[in-house]
Structure 1
Amino acid sequence: MARPKIPRNICGCPANSCFKPNGIPMNSLERVAMGADEFEAMRLVDLNGMQQLEAAAVMQVSRQTLANLVKRARAKVADCLVNGKALDLAGRD
């Protein structure tokens, strides 16, 4: 049985619910979903320039958990950019 997920402090939200390649209809694209916690971790570290320890404190998670969230978020963004997929930011955890 998996451990229950600890609530995370999420302050930011995406400006748009989805990003996709230009000129391709949404219904013909593969979608990659990014969770609110992954978005927030990437926003704090990559956009705001926080150190991982500081960002982890803001989100109320361990530094290792934050590092895992950032790693997953970056991989999803890279997958979308390289393989022409849509990045779905609508889902909240």
Structure 2
Amino acid sequence: MPRQRCCGLIDDAIVCQTFIPLGQSCLEEVNIKLEELEAIRLKDKVGLDQAECAASMGVSRATFQRILGSARSKIASALVEGRPIIIRGGHYLMKNRVFECVGCGHVWEAASCAAGGKYGYEISCPMCGSMKKMRLNNCHQERNI
């Protein structure tokens, strides 16, 4: 039986989910997962070393290297072949989440379940105890949990 796959921790939501080469929208798209984009961001944009990147994402160095290699390979294919890049999905958790209570309006930040927090459906308002809340910045979705 295979091991359960690790969730990569993601710092923030992405700004743009689609890149399409000029005049090439009919080619098959390349799908990049959000944890792959986070690996590229940490290593190539922020400039962290592999150990720091792995720690930031909450995965082993070997897992980080596999995620990074997959992302770089997909991006290289898309650039060389002129294929559109779509960024979505994957197996990840947002590091911190911000909720607002529908009842009392209290706003609070909750850690991800990978960082010792609870899944969103288990979290109640720390002020009034209500389970009726909404996630702020609703583009920060958790997927494949």
Please report the TM-score for the alignment, with normalisation by the length of structure 1.
0.88
Q: Who is 1:21 aligned against?
A: 21
Residues 18 and 90, structure 1, Cα contact 8 Å, conserved in 2: no
Higher helix share: 1
Q: Who is 1:69 aligned against?
A: 67
Higher strand share: 2
Structure 1 Cα separation of the partners of residues 10 and 29 of structure 2: 23
Corresponding residue SS for 2:52 = helix
The correspondence for 1:33, drawn from 28, 31, 34, is 31
Q: Deviation digits for residues 24-75 of structure 1, max 9, x if unmatched?
A: 3x3x121111111111111100000000100100101001111111111011
What is the number of residues matched between the two proteins?
Answer: 91
Query: Which contiguous aligned blocks of 4+ residues in structure 1 show a shift greater than 6 angstroms?
Result: none
Structure 2 Cα separation of the partners of residues 89 and 4 of structure 1: 23
Question: Which protein has greater RCO, CA pairs closer than 8 Å, 6+ apart?
Answer: 1
Corresponding residue SS for 2:8 = coil
Q: How does 1:5-20 map to 2 (within 5 A)?
A: 5-20=5-20
**Percent identical across equivalent pairs?**
36
Unmatched 5+ stretches in structure 2: 92-145
Cα shift at 1:92 = 4.1
Q: Who is 2:47 aligned against?
A: 49
Unmatched 5+ stretches in structure 1: none
